């Protein structure tokens, strides 16, 4: 047996207050399981933001449409990794696909994930980028030409009819994608919300709370990425886009806070058997991460900041700064939210008579280093995606110009399009 693990259990046992069942000394879902809903939330939120532009025709969000899609993809690719790493037998993970237990919420993971990745995200990105990929290929050399040819699946047709079909396809997939994004993260909420043994998790509101916190996190993440990438490219930030992002973030935060408040008041008012231990939890072990970080710094402060900046006559530079700070705070708050759900739900005994402790390891399979790695990885993937599929307005091709160019280019493929 791993002596480090045993030492950790001994330390945890020393921190137990009240009574816990002896098997509860070990806390089973670690930081990796905190990261998983954090990542899927970002995926769902970023996709819903992208769909605002496509389905609800919010034109101001045009500059972030493709960026949001790529962000969703980058985070989606990493999302199952913490789950996989957390399994006692990662090599048996495929059994979830081969012999799923139809009664298990978790068994549906593979199908929800595969549907979202294959049918929604990849298809939408492919149709949206197809014509551009064809054009970019003209100027590409070497590996990039091959990569883009592979990604476009060898497609060549950029006739107005084909481009029109792309548009329609994107529209259709987005419409399918919105309920799918709701499903993706609502489902993660259900995994926790349906555990009747755990009063901190067991709540019908859980999938909805997860969903709105996902929208909040997705919008603020895309805002941050848009902000940073634009500055790095030394381009001008589109202020009307930032204003629109800030507005949506503001509204989503209001709904999110209302739902959290509803959940809190409901619990307090019903005052069930578990209320005493949950009170100890909220005002004890979770006071910093829940009351201070999640609610105050992660929700209320950003709401005030966003309202102050969005609906006032501040200079643009000032506004931008405030939006940026608010978005950073929201990210910290959302990470705390995930922490408070996952870790918080395991800090009290199901005997409702005592509390235990979680000590984050530094190294090891479920340690801090792995967690940080998994949080950095999506950004590396995103950087790569941004190289292959630049989402910037200035990289786009106008479809009419494109077909002209193609007819010109037809005789000799190598001729330049610029």
Partner 1 sequence: MSQNYDRRKFLAELLKFPPATIVLGVIGPVRLLAAAGTDEYEPTEHYYAMGIRVEECIGCGKCVKACKLENDVPDEPYYFRTWVERYIVYTDGEVQVDSPEGGIHGFPPVADESFPPVAAGKEILRTFFVPKLCNHCDNPPCVQVCPVGATFKSQDGVVLVDEDYCIGCRYCIQACPYGARFLDPRTKTANKCTFCYHRITKGLLPACVEVCPTQARVFGEIGDRSTPLNRMMRMSHLEVLKPHMNTEPKVYYTALDGEVR
Residue ranges that bind partner 1, judged by CB under 8 A: 1-2, 5-6, 9, 13, 18-26, 28-29, 83, 86-90, 92-93, 95-96, 99-101, 103-107, 109, 191, 195-198, 346, 349-353
* Nearest to partner 1 of 202, 247 (CB atom): 202
Tell me the CA distances in angstroms from 415 to 144, 152, 317, 405, one per residue in order: 17, 20, 43, 10
Cα separation, 39 vs 82, whole angstroms: 10
Smallest separation (angstroms) from partner 1 to the CB of 93: 6
Burial class (CB in 10 A: 0-12, 13-18, 19+), 288: exposed
Smallest separation (angstroms) from partner 1 to the CB of 1: 5
Smallest separation (angstroms) from partner 1 to the CB of 378: 23
* Backbone phi and psi for residue 355, each to the nearest 5 degrees, phi listed first: -120, 150
Contact 216, 249 (CB under 8 A): yes
* Nearest to partner 1 of 101, 258 (CB atom): 101
Cα separation, 60 vs 53, whole angstroms: 8
* Nearest to partner 1 of 167, 353 (CB atom): 353
* Nearest to partner 1 of 21, 56 (CB atom): 21
* Nearest to partner 1 of 25, 208 (CB atom): 25
Smallest separation (angstroms) from partner 1 to the CB of 45: 25
Smallest separation (angstroms) from partner 1 to the CB of 29: 7
Smallest separation (angstroms) from partner 1 to the CB of 109: 7
Smallest separation (angstroms) from partner 1 to the CB of 153: 33
Smallest separation (angstroms) from partner 1 to the CB of 375: 22
* Nearest to partner 1 of 29, 149 (CB atom): 29
Smallest separation (angstroms) from partner 1 to the CB of 85: 11
* Nearest to partner 1 of 9, 297 (CB atom): 9
* Nearest to partner 1 of 191, 221 (CB atom): 191
* Nearest to partner 1 of 3, 411 (CB atom): 3
Tell me the CA distances in angstroms from 104 to 11, 101, 107, 194, one per residue in order: 34, 6, 5, 10
* Nearest to partner 1 of 26, 401 (CB atom): 26
* Nearest to partner 1 of 89, 234 (CB atom): 89
R_g over Cα of the chain = 24
Smallest separation (angstroms) from partner 1 to the CB of 197: 4
Write out the two tokens for 63. Answer: 């500059």
Smallest separation (angstroms) from partner 1 to the CB of 106: 4
């Amino acid at each position: 047996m791993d002596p480090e693990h045993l030492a950790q259990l001994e330390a945890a046992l020393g921190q137990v207050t009240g009574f816990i069942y002896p098997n509860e000394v070990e806390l089973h879902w670690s930081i990796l399981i905190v990261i998983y809903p954090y990542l899927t939330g970002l995926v769902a939120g970023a996709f819903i933001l992208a769909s605002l532009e496509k389905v609800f025709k919010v034109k101001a969000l045009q500059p972030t449409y493709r960026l949001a899609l790529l962000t969703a993809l980058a985070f989606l690719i990493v999302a199952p990794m913490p789950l996989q790493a957390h399994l006692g037998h990662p090599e048996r993970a495929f059994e979830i696909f081969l012999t799923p237990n139809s009664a298990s919420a978790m068994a549906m993971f593979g199908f929800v994930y595969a549907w979202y990745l294959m049918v929604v995200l990849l298809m939408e990105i492919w149709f949206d980028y197809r014509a551009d990929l064809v054009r970019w290929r003209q100027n590409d050399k070497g590996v990039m030409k091959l990569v883009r040819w592979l990604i476009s699946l060898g497609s060549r047709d950029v006739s107005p009819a084909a481009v029109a079909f792309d548009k329609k396809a994107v529209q259709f997939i987005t419409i399918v994608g919105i309920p799918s994004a709701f499903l993706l993260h609502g489902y993660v909420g259900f995994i926790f919300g349906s555990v009747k043994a755990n009063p901190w998790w067991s709540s019908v509101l859980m999938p909805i709370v997860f969903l709105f916190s996902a929208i909040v996190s997705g919008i603020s993440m895309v805002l941050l990425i848009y902000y940073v990438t634009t500055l790095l490219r030394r381009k001008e930030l589109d202020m009307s886009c930032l204003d629109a992002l800030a507005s949506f973030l503001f509204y989503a935060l209001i709904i999110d806070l209302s739902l959290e408040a509803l959940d809190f008041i409901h619990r307090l008012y019903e005052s069930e058997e578990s209320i005493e231990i949950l009170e100890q939890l909220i005002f004890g072990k979770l006071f910093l991460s829940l009351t201070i970080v999640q609610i105050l710094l992660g929700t209320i402060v950003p709401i005030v900041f966003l309202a102050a900046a969005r609906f006032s006559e501040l200079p643009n530079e000032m506004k931008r700064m405030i939006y940026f700070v608010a978005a950073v705070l929201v990210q910290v708050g959302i990470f705390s939210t995930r922490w408070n759900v996952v870790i918080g739900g395991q800090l009290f005994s199901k005997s409702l008579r005592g509390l235990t402790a979680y000590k984050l390891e530094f190294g090891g399979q479920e340690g801090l280093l792995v967690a940080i790695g998994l949080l950095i990885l999506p950004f590396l993937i995103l950087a790569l995606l941004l190289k292959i599929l630049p989402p910037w307005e200035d990289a786009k091709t106008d479809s009419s110009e494109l077909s002209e160019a193609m007819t010109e280019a037809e005789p000799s493929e190598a001729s330049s399009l610029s």
